[in-house]
Structure 1
Amino acid sequence: MRIVLVDMPWSAIDAPSLALGILKRRVLDVFPNASVDVVHANLDYVDWLTAHTGFTFEEYDFCASSYFSGHSEWIFSAALNEQPHWNVREFNESIGEKVPEPLLAKARELHELAPRFVRDIAARIAAGAPDVVGFTTTFAQNAAALATARAVKSFAPYAATVFGGANCDGPQGAALHRNFPFVDFVVRGEGEATFPQLLTALRHGDGDGDEGDGGSGSSDRDGEGGLSGISGLCWRDSGGRCVANPMEDKPLPPGALVTPEYGDYFDRHARSTAGSWVEPRIVVEGSRGCWWGEKHHCAFCGLNGSFMEFRSKNPQRFVDEILGLVERYRILDVWVTDNILDMAYLTSMAPRLQESGYDLRLCYEIKSNLRREQLRTLSAAGIGYIQAGVENLSSRVLQLMDKGVTGCQNVRLLRDAETVGMNLNWNYLYGFPGESDEDYDAICDQAPALHHLTPPFNATRIKVERFSPYFDQPELGFDELRPAAHYRHIYDLPESELAELVYLFDSRDLGVSPSCLDRLKRAVSGWKDAYLHCRLTHCDLGDRIVLVDTRPGFVWRLLDLTDPLEVAVFRLLDMPHSPASLLRKAAARHEDATEERITELLDRWRHMGIVFTDGGQCIHVAPVAANQDLMRLDGSRLHSAEPLAPALAASPAAPAAPTSAPTPVTVTVTATGGTGGTG
């Protein structure tokens, strides 16, 4: 057999397709003599566009990240529907106000060029006379993959076209197969089990004299052991009727998850224009599913689709897999696709990675309740970039999401990530049924106190996703769902079919008022603008704690905590505490701890931007200073620092913004034999 697997735009250009890497390895394990080629059409597209028009990394990156608006998929809609200038006016009207005109003009240009690229790539695929052409489709790949499958079928009608991936899960796969007759088969669920079974059935059909039959139906397809016995497969019987086999009830066990085979991807990337834009990464998976989602499915999350059950690889095997791929492809940047960290990996996988001696740079998705020492463990293992499920800083809104964390826990993660030196990625989500303006007012008020911590990428209204509780349970608040409007500009299908095909759904706007939303967006924008210029750190010297601040929203620059009660309370606030618990713990060791004094102290520190409060809890927001050990060695020098400004010493509440630039206080730290750390 000659098998071609295709990775279409708009997949990431800095990483190979994990899905196709897994399928290639699995097919070669089952059919050692098969020819399996992967077409990296996303890289081909970059090279094709740069040869035909001015095209930049920023433009590709914008399109690749615009799935929720439909911008990227509309570009391939003319090729999909075989009509030039498909819904151009409608596209302009729906997205024109949201996208800068240069990017809008570029989208129109790419829209006109897309049919030519699709023909070129399809002709190249067909020239190899493949028996099977498989397309992976996730998020914004659908339109491009469908358009190319149609073109492949016109050039090579004998080739069987197969679709799989997240866009084919559950009813989506059946709708895709039903509405696009040039798609012969759709694999729903985990393809490493189903795809080899399909290849076996096709090979058996060829052996019965149906060579070249492709997707038109063979004599054995309706019989026992043929296509009807392959779980989750969508196919057509001898009469052309679409059949969707029931999906598996149970997911694959972790031992069945194979190591991907990436072939020539990294050489291809180096030869591509993309190679001068971005460094490539290896993609791996240690687990599938979500252990939190098994117990408490986050209300807005549609990930994992039909298989939420959490499964993780043996930690030693996972480490061996990572290091084997690193050694084979000579790449140290690793992207882990897991939806959540297996907590057992903290004491198994992470130490083994640290012991490897490689200067690894891993990206991992984690739950936001991890503590500083756990983050240090991950950092020591080379995990320096984390996608954390922070999503909001209001405990009440987080409870509506069923996130299982509080606002103070999320702030703790932001603070401790700064201490450890981890890069962090998160979005501030809003628009949840049951939330109110009050859930955001207190957060916006305190945003200047967080300007030294990693800001959200954006403030984003949630979209209802298929497979999420909000989709499956209208009683949660979203009771009038319809396919997201942008799909109508991409597909020529009735509403009833779109409702089965698509992943995103429109609903009436819920939650915060427009005025509150404006305030939230201004707060996030100001946070993003201020972040690179702000710093707040603390150094614990044993008998005193010194805080240094450069945030422009506060007038103080140096705070020297020497009062034993204040030192004790600050240390307790390393973790979220209620005022009552602070009083109880502080009073156990300090006779002068009273409710009045604790209340006054918390009020003063909140006005100074030292503590964050939410949901009846508070936590300090000052990361540990870099080179704290060096400061401790020379801590006596802190005693000679000039005193705090008299106005600050006299007033417990500093004004929100200085009326004039305060005189900076310099703390000099000297040491020998050391190197500087990050500020």
Structure 2
Amino acid sequence: MRLTLVAPPWNSLYRPSIQIGTLAALEDEKEGDPITPVYAYLDWFEYAVGALECDPAEFVTVYDTIGEELYGLGVGDWIFGGVLDAHERRAGRPAPGGVAPREAGPEEQRARARYADFLTEHGVARELVARIVELRSVAPRFVEVLAERLLATGAECFGFTTSFSQLMPALAVARALKDRAPERLVLLGGANCDRPMGQAVMRAYPFVDAVVQGEGEAAVAAVRAARTLGDLAAAPGLVLRHEGELRVSLPAVQPAESAPVPRYAEYFERLRALPHSELITPHVALPFQMSRGCWWGEKLQCTFCGENGSGMVYRSKPGGRLTETLRRLTEEHGVFDTYAVDTILARNDNGLAELAEAEVDVTTFFEVKANLGPRELGEMRAAGVTMVQPGIESLSSSALKLLRKGATAFHNLRFLVLCEELGIDAQWNLLSAMPEESAAMLQEQLRLIPFITHLAPPSTVSKVRVDRYSPYFEKPDEFGIALSGPEPKYRFVHSGRLPAAERTELAYSFDHVEQVRRSDGTAAEMLALRRRLGARVGLWKKLHEQSRFTFRFGPEMTVLHDRRPHVGTGRHILRGGDDQLFRCLVHGGRLHQAVAQVGAMTGQPEDRVRETVRAWARRGWIHLEGRRGLVLAVRDGMRDELGRAAELRERTAEAGTAAEAATVDGSGRVSAGQ
């Protein structure tokens, strides 16, 4: 079958869809009918700017906000859900072309008013709410235009990728396609169709012919080779209708190396033809993938993480493929910013050392664990990694243990110090309200934050969410919680005519209640502490640009500059034992070793050295955790970041610095080695 692959809104404007780019690349590697990629989210950008007669630069901001920040409120899906609602209200009397009438009837007006109130209650600015309602009013005509364009490709099958806010846009267009050409096939895939969610899509929306569960390469190969729907009966990962029931084929788990380098030519072709493309083109980054699944999740899945669904099994391409992949992508498209979509960076053969040696000026992004030390981060920066998402989640070791993060506050703070030193942008979130959270965990972080305003603040502070496929969802009793139903956004995203049970099956995120309180504070006290934490992080963000806490090494002395707002103590010169003690704790060190070394070198009593350690901790110069200490200041060695990266990655392991490789096993115990 001739196949058209569609990437609907709200994919990032600045990234070609890696899902359809990877599947489209199969056309070059395997025999079968042609594949046509369509970047419909770029079409939507052009259409919405014209339909609303708005400033394109303003709409870029609106689009980014809806796609990146308002996913949790279901905004992107709700905008297109009105097309399906209108179809249901017509009760089998479709308007010409199968699209909703332009004027909103009383029921639609009520739906818009209820959702506008919902958004306002959740802090969305009224001006943005008004724009969101406007977008819903113009979405039906866009769906009509896009459906006609897709049919003109001559494809016999239309495949939609659906992640995050793409489900309702895909369903709206699929409905319009089936109204016009019932004989053409529509299938959906992506995260919104994994495992039971895909079968729920089939039951709730009978115009969908099939869904792909799990990875899509085998299913796409089967579609290209098929001539009829019956030929797909045994295709891996497909859910099909058969005699009034759903027939489910188990998904195939692909080796990572079998995935081709994505094909992005059609994205750039569409981008060049896009009015106002100058707002997008300078910020484009090329997605690539080196691994699938999560090696940490295989060992001990984070309690709140449902990201991998059926694809937790970790598979990685040989590290040498990294440089090859980035060379090919950047040379083909003339774009040197890249973006790894991997859940987690490979531990060993990740290709960064080879990339660091390659003569290419490529920048890239990876998701990583935060227990990486100076050598690993130095290697990453030397390889052109300028942005990371470390999954820090908390600055309390006790809270991190509850979340099964496999790291401690020591690791997270060391990571942030090193990123500041190396010029790596660390993007992270702070979580609270996890089951069994205590007042002490929140107070610990409240005390710490004033001392670390010079380090990268979290992007958001949010309550832990219960997502499908996470341990919280799969085994709520184990964590003392009870699921209380899908998050409220699903009442608006899916039509009110959809039974509650079906909305539950379609949902990914769920509300919950804690059945047994094991906190050291009352509910009111805990709420007050969480609000204080959010406010203090807000202040952290405001102070960050002006906050500095740096040091420089000199001959037998260290000069410390402490210009942190409210807690800074100015300029200090450390000599003798203080200089040696400080150096022992830069990037982390064992306290007993540092104290013994200083005592042996200077003749100071160890009790006096330990008192210095405690005094520095009170000032926030160092962070103490168990038997380790970490200097919170950032080295200003008067070198550029790449010079520091080269120095760190060449550092050899010594017995006295074994703490740099410390990790935490699943029980929370600290162990040496990585």
TM over 0.5: yes
> Is the aligned partner of 1:568 residue 2:593?
no
The aligned residue for residue 441 of structure 1 is: 443
Question: Which position in structure 2 is the counterpart of 1:90?
Answer: 114
Aligned match of 2:92: none
1:363-512 counterparts in 2 under 5 A?
Answer: 363-474=365-476, 475-492=478-495, 493-508=498-513
Query: Within 5 Å, which residues of 2 pair with 1:167-186?
Result: 167-186=192-211
Task: Kindly state the Cα deviation for residue 581 of structure 1 after the two structures are TM-superposed.
Answer: 5.6
- SS of residue matched to 1:306: helix
Distance 1:629 1:173, change over 3 A: closer
Tell me the SS of whatever aligns to 2:354: helix
Give the corresponding residue for 1:658: none
Contact 1:539 1:628 in 2 (8 A): no
Q: Which residue of 2 aligns with 1:165?
A: 190
How far apart are the structure 2 equivalents of 1:283 and 1:122? Answer: 27
Tell me, what secondary structure is at the counterpart of 1:332?
coil
Q: Separation in 2 of the partners of 1:468 and 1:96?
A: 30
How far the C-alpha of 1:513 sits from its partner, in A, is 1.2
Identity %: 32
Query: How far is the alpha carbon of 1:181 from its aligned partner?
Result: 1.2
Distance 1:333 1:196, change over 3 A: same
Q: Is 2:328 aligned against 1:324? A: yes
User: Aligned residue for 1:657?
Assistant: none
Q: How does 1:291-370 map to 2 (within 5 A)?
A: 291-345=295-349, 349-370=351-372
Secondary structure of 2:254's match?
coil
Q: Distance in 2 between matches of 1:570 and 1:505?
A: 47
Distance 1:622 1:257, change over 3 A: same
What SS does the corresponding residue of 2:447 show, helix, strand or coil?
A: helix
Superposition deviation, residue 575 in structure 1: 4.2
Deviation, structure 1 residue 562: 0.6
Structure-to-structure mapping, 1:530-549, within 5 angstroms: 530-549=543-562
**Paired position in structure 2 for 1:7:** 7
Q: Which residue of 2 aligns with 1:115?
A: 140
Contact 1:579–1:598 under 8 Å retained in 2: no
**How big is each residue's C-alpha offset from its partner over 1:44-71, in whole Å with a ceiling of 9 and x where there is no partner?**
1111111111152110111002111112
Letter of the 1:487 partner, please give it. Answer: Y
Determine if contact 1:46/1:274 at 8 Å carries over to the other structure.
no
- Other-structure match for 2:23: 23
87-96 vs 188-197, which moves further: 87-96
When residues 629 and 80 of structure 1 are mapped into structure 2, their CA distance, relative to the original with a 3 A threshold, is closer
Aligned position for 1:656: none
Equivalent position of 1:635 in the other structure: none
Alignment of 1:125-204 (within 5 A): 125-201=150-226, 203=227
Counterpart of 2:47?
48
Task: Supply the distance in 2 between the matched residues of 1:21 and 1:127 (Cα, whole angstroms).
Answer: 21
- Residue number in structure 1 paired with 2:93: none
| 1:330 to partner: Cα distance | 1.0
Q: Per-residue deviation at 1:471?
A: 0.7
Tell me what 2:288 maps to.
284
2:528 maps to 515
Q: Following TM superposition, by how much is the alpha carbon of 1:479 offset from its aligned partner in structure 2, in angstroms?
A: 1.8
Equivalent of residue 99 in structure 1, options 114, 117, 124: 124
Q: Give the CA deviation at 1:254.
A: 2.3
Helix, strand or coil at the partner of 1:108: helix
Equivalent of 1:59, from 46, 50, 62? Answer: 62
Contact 2:374 2:587 in 1 (8 A): no
Q: Secondary structure at the match of 1:507?
A: strand
Match of 1:650 in 2: none
d(CA) in 1 for partners of 2:273, 2:132: 26
Contact 1:150/1:182 (8 A) holds in 2: yes
Aligned match of 1:235: 240
Give the letter for the 2:573 counterpart. Answer: D
Cα shift at 1:576: 4.1
Q: CA deviation at 1:265?
A: 1.0
Q: Is the 8 A contact 1:269 1:275 kept in 2?
A: yes
Are 2:77 and 1:73 aligned?
A: yes
Partners of 2:386 and 2:535 in 1: CA distance:
29
Instruction: Give the Cα separation in 1 of the matches to 2:513 and 2:139.
Output: 34
Seen in structure 2, the aligned counterparts of structure 1 residues 274 and 256 have a Cα distance that, compared at 3 Å, is farther
Structure 2 residue identity aligned to 1:392: S
1:3–1:130 CA contact under 8 A, matched in 2: yes
Residues 67, 140 of structure 1: 8 Å contact kept? yes
Q: Deviations over 1:506-530 (max 9, x none)?
A: 1137877111011101110011001
**In 2 relative to 1, CA 602–519 (structure 1 residues): closer, same or farther, beyond 3 Å?**
farther
Structure 2: distance between partners of 1:362 and 1:132: 35
The question of whether the paired residues in 2 share the 8 Å contact of 1:586 and 1:593 is answered with no
SS for the counterpart of 2:344 is: coil
CA distance in structure 1 between the aligned counterparts of 2:640 and 2:557, rounded to whole angstroms? 14
Native 8 Å contact 2:486 2:509 kept in 1? yes
| Residues 620 and 334 of structure 1: CA distance in aligned 2, closer, same or farther (over 3 Å) | same
How far apart, in 1, do the equivalents of 2:334 and 2:44 lie?
25
Counterpart check, 1:610 vs 2:614: no
Question: Does 2:560 align with 1:550?
Answer: no
Cα distance change of structure 1 residues 420 and 370 upon mapping to structure 2, 3 Å threshold: same
Q: 1:391 to 1:273 in 2, by over 3 A?
A: farther
In the TM superposition, residue 626 of structure 1 has moved relative to its aligned partner by 4.0
Amino acid at match of 1:467: Y
Q: What is the CA–CA distance in structure 1 between the aligned matches of 2:250 and 2:369, rounded to whole Å?
A: 33
Once the two structures are superposed, residues 233-278 of structure 1 have per-residue CA deviations (whole angstroms, 9 ceiling, x without a partner) of 11112x3432222344xx2112312211112212322332463223
- Aligned residue type for 2:20: L
Q: 1:253 to 1:585 in 2, by over 3 A?
A: farther
Q: Which whole-Å CA distance do the structure 2 matches of 1:538 and 1:128 have between them? A: 62
Aligned residues of 2:553 and 2:637 also touching (Cα < 8 A) = no
1:161–1:615: structure 2 CA closer, same or farther, 3 Å change rule? farther
Can you give the 5+ residue segments of structure 2 that lack an aligned partner in the other structure?
Answer: 90-103, 520-524, 642-674
Does the 8 A contact of 1:235 with 1:244 survive in 2?
A: yes
- Judge conservation of contact 1:46–1:273 (CA < 8 Å) in 2: no
Contact 2:2 2:34 in 1 (8 A): yes
Separation in structure 2 between the aligned mates of residue 262 and residue 577 of structure 1, nearest angstrom: 47
Structure 1 residues 390 and 593: alpha-carbon distance in aligned structure 2, compared to 1, 3 A threshold: farther
The 1-side partners of 2:172 and 2:640 are apart by: 60
Q: Deviations over 1:648-678 (max 9, x none)?
A: xxxxxxxxxxxxxxxxxxxxxxxxxxxxxxx
Partner of residue 210, structure 1: none
Deviation at 1:538, TM superposition (A): 0.9
Instruction: Say how many residue pairs are matched.
Output: 602
The secondary structure found in structure 1 opposite 2:158 is: strand
Select which of 266, 269, 273 maps to 1:267. 269
For the pair shown, the structure with the greater C-alpha radius of gyration is: 1
Distance 1:356 1:268 in 2: 31
Q: What whole-Å deviation, never above 9, does each CA across 1:596-626 have from its counterpart, x for those lacking one? A: x244323322333312345675421111104
Q: Which amino acid aligns with 2:193?
A: C
TM-align CA RMSD:
2.1
Instruction: Note the 1:247-262 alignment, pairs <5 A.
Output: 247-248=251-252, 251-262=253-264
Secondary structure at the residue paired with 1:528? helix
Structure 1 pair 599/259, CA: closer, same or farther in 2 (3 Å)? Answer: same
